[in-house]
Amino acid sequence: DQQVKQNSPSLSVQEGRISILNCDYTNSMFDYFLWYKKYPAEGPTFLISISSIKDKNEDGRFTVFLNKSAKHLSLHIVPSQPGDSAVYFCAASDTSGTYKYIFGTGTRLKVLA
Amino acid sequence: DGGITQSPKYLFRKEGQNVTLSCEQNLNHDAMYWYRQDPGQGLRLIYYSQIVNDFQKGDIAEGYSVSREKKESFPLTVTSAQKNPTAFYLCASSIGQGNNEQFFGPGTRLTVL
């Protein structure tokens, strides 16, 4: 039972345009969400997070939106750069319990120069 | 220079042998985690530990064992009982309380010959 889903395995975007990566979750107890970026054969690096008390969090070119009623979050990258080409994972946690994080299957973003 | 180290980067073992993957952190984090990544799949949780001398099974603990004798160290043993051990293994740590991100090590690629 996949509690965190990234339904698009890949996405291609032109340099300078907006990249939108989507993530859906099923567990209404999740209250903290994170996005990670991963290059091949490396560990993921943290990008941005959002708590369920907010619906938007922005950090430079990266913005995460949370729609609790739809159990959906998205990561916007504007403008997209070739160095953004990587696999992006969303993760969710129920911080009232154990400190477990459930990860999605990832979306491979390719930014075309 | 704080961080998480995993060694070795690449590891080969013969079928039927146990092997231990190292994970060390100097971030003074309470919680540590082991994940496995397979092609086309997200990060799946093997074991996690919230404090020293305590750990819990994750979603795919069968065929693995861990110990947490020191706060800085969380070694993972892949036993001969693990049916499909070839994978990329990632160790992570977090502060362990409240909303916070996980920091990942560079990973170990285990190949069973």
* Candidates B99, B103, B110, partner chain A, best to mutate (most A CBs within 10 A): B99
pLDDT digits (tens, 9 = 90+) for A6-15: 999 999 999 9
pLDDT band for A97, please (50, 70, 90 cuts): low
- pLDDT for A100 equals 81
Residues B13, B19: Cα–Cα separation, whole Å: 7
- Beta bridge partners, A25, equal A4
Per the document, the length of chain B is 113
* Candidates A49, A99, A107, A108, partner chain B, best to mutate (most B CBs within 10 A): A99
Chain B residues touching chain A at CB-CB below 8 Å: 4, 6, 31, 33, 35, 40-45, 48, 50, 56, 58, 88, 90, 92, 94, 96-99, 101-107, 109
CA distances from B72 to A113, B26, B32, B51 (A): 42, 6, 9, 10
- pLDDT for A39 equals 92
The SS3 call for residue A82 is helix
A106 touches chain B (CB under 8 A): yes
Residue A36 scores a pLDDT above 90? yes
Torsion of CA B63, B86, B68, B35, to 10 degrees: -100
The whole-number average pLDDT for the span A13-24 is: 97
Residues B94, B27: Cα–Cα separation, whole Å: 9
- Segments of chain B with pLDDT less than 70: 1-2, 97-99
- pLDDT for B98 equals 67
A103 touches chain B (CB under 8 A): yes
Residue B5 has φ and ψ, to the nearest 5°, of: -115, 140
The SS3 call for residue A84 is helix
Question: Under an 8 A CB cutoff, do A99 and B50 touch?
Answer: yes
pLDDT digits (tens, 9 = 90+) for A48-84: 999 999 999 999 999 999 999 999 999 999 999 999 9
* Chain A residues whose beta carbon lies within 8 Å of the beta carbon of residue B41: 105
Strands A56-59 and A62-67: antiparallel
